Structure 1
Amino acid sequence: MTNRLFSLLMLALIAAGLAGCQSAPVRDPAYAPMRPVIPPPAPMGNGSIYQAGYERSWFEDMRARRVGDMLTIKLAEKTDAKKKATTAVKKSNSNSVTNPTILGSTPQFNAPGLLPLASNNNNNLGFSLESEHDFSGEGDSAQNNELTGDVTVTVIEVLPNGYLMVRGEKRIGINQGNEYVKVSGIVRPADIDSTNTVLSTRLADPTIVYKGDGAVADSNVMGWFAKFFISALFPF
């Protein structure tokens, strides 16, 4: 039994060691590059020197315009969000009912076990009730993010209005981890400059993901036991 436990422990240590080794970056099929569409064979025997769809302009720029063309996205994302909330609630209630007069007299009674009826020990139907509630809350939140860099993507579809749907991924393996930058969105051809570059702030319906894996990324992840104490499941 002891040997078996020792073997299981050694296997667990070996598995943990292998998991800590750096692995090659993993490609995301959802951001795979799009290959250019292969044109159909040119028609033969029609007597024309130039065939439609196979011409090339000598003076056109090299901006992306077809499926499979490459386009460089210049990341220029910067967000600065602040939020502050202050709440104060105060409520006071006071109710009082005097002893009523019935048929010209005020009723009085003795509860069981009390002293005999006396002027300083009267019991009547009058009562009073007072309550007070006070609540004060204050919250403050601030967040700053900045992402810069370049990612070259490919055109995956040309929309009927000429706009370009693009997507791409950059994978970087550094020391004991990998970093991934994924970009997708819709580009208007007029926003592409002469260097075939467009700002990320010009993307429509943008999706920009920056994440990593490995030892460095794992060290910044909160454990499940610590998450429990800040989750909605924690009753206190």
Structure 2
Amino acid sequence: MPSFSVLRGLVLCLSMTLLACQHNGLIKPGDKAWQATPPVLVNPAAATPGAIFQAGRGANLFVDHRANQVGDVVTINLVEKTDASKQSTTTTAKDSSVAIPTGNLLGGPVTFKGRDLLDTSISSNQDFKGQGASSQSNRLSGSITVTVAEVLANGNLRVQGEKWVTINQGEEFIRVAGTIRPVDVGPDNSVPSWKVADARITYSGKGMLNDANAMGWLGRLFQSVLAPL
């Protein structure tokens, strides 16, 4: 049977492999889950030879060009800014004392070398002081055009999409998914991100610059719950 040290080495190697696989370099463009949803194809009307009017080939001057069906595109304006802070201070103090009167034994005090043996008193002092503070803020601005993936039963639109930008030796990407109301879509076919329900916004990158700012797999191992200390 393998010794305990061998089993421990196998577990350590497996943990290193799993942590190494968590690197965001596995994220790449062309993921099928984030591909643009094609529009619903409608069979064109049959041509009418010799007629001036051809069904299905007219131009409607009063059509609403805002997204309202599967495959339509809509621009999401990223306006994300959050600030959170918390501070707490607690101070408590308690002083207590108990004095027991001098007792008598056989009609007189009990002493030893002039010291009253039955004279008793108890006192205690308790002090506590705690203080904590926490703050967090983030900001994201920009825009991304996504496609309508599904029209829900109540008319709301489920949208999703991604944008990849390659700069020098690195790639930056933005992914947005969520649900919007058609009434919130502006005349320019755009909607602010704070009006996207169940929004899932991802902004990250890959490449040499991103790798330089990432902790190595060995460091992540010692920072994980698998670390022995």
TM-score class normalised by the smaller sequence? 0.5 to 0.7
Name the TM-score, length of structure 1 as normaliser.
0.66
The Cα of 1:123 is off from its aligned counterpart by: 3.1
Q: Structure 1 residues 104, 57: CA separation in 2 closer, same or farther (over 3 Å shift)? A: farther
Match of 1:114 in 2: none
How do 1:212-223 and structure 2 match up within 5 A? Answer: 212-222=205-215
The Cα of 1:61 is off from its aligned counterpart by: 2.2
CA RMSD of aligned residues (A): 3.7
Distance 2:130 2:142 in 1: 41
Aligned with residue 36 of structure 1, among 25, 35, 39 = 39
Match of 1:123 in 2: 117
Distance 1:214 1:96 in 2: 75
Match of 2:180 in 1: 187
Structure 1 residue 196 corresponds to structure 2 residue 189 = yes
Gaps of 5+ in 2: 1-24, 47-52
Which residue identity lines up with residue 118 of structure 1 in the other structure? Answer: K
Aligned with residue 159 of structure 1, among 141, 152, 160 = 152
Structure 1 residue 140 corresponds to structure 2 residue 143 = no
Residues 159-194 of structure 1: per-residue CA shift (max 9 Å, x gap): 112110101111222233322211111111111122
Segment of structure 1 superposing worse, 28-37 or 182-191:
28-37
Q: Structure 1 residues 56, 210: CA separation in 2 closer, same or farther (over 3 Å shift)? A: farther
Distance 2:58 2:152 in 1: 22
Give the secondary-structure state (helix, strand or coil) at the position aligned to 2:210.
Answer: helix
Segment of structure 1 superposing worse, 152-161 or 214-223:
214-223
Distance 1:226 1:127 in 2: 60
Distance 1:166 1:145 in 2: 24
Structure with the largest fraction of strand = 2
How do 1:1-236 and structure 2 match up within 5 A? Answer: 25-39=28-42, 58=60, 59-101=62-104, 104-106=107-109, 117-120=112-115, 122-124=116-118, 126-222=119-215
Distance 2:72 2:79 in 1: 22
Residues 92-114 of structure 1: per-residue CA shift (max 9 Å, x gap): 23233344446645556xxxxxx
Name the TM-score, length of structure 2 as normaliser.
0.68
The Cα of 1:234 is off from its aligned counterpart by: 11
Distance 1:77 1:225 in 2: 32
Segment of structure 1 superposing worse, 148-157 or 213-222:
213-222
Give the secondary-structure state (helix, strand or coil) at the position aligned to 1:61.
Answer: coil
Q: Which has the larger radius of gyration?
A: 1
Distance 2:58 2:126 in 1: 80
- Residue identity over aligned pairs, in percent, reads 39
Gaps of 5+ in 1: 1-21, 44-48, 109-116
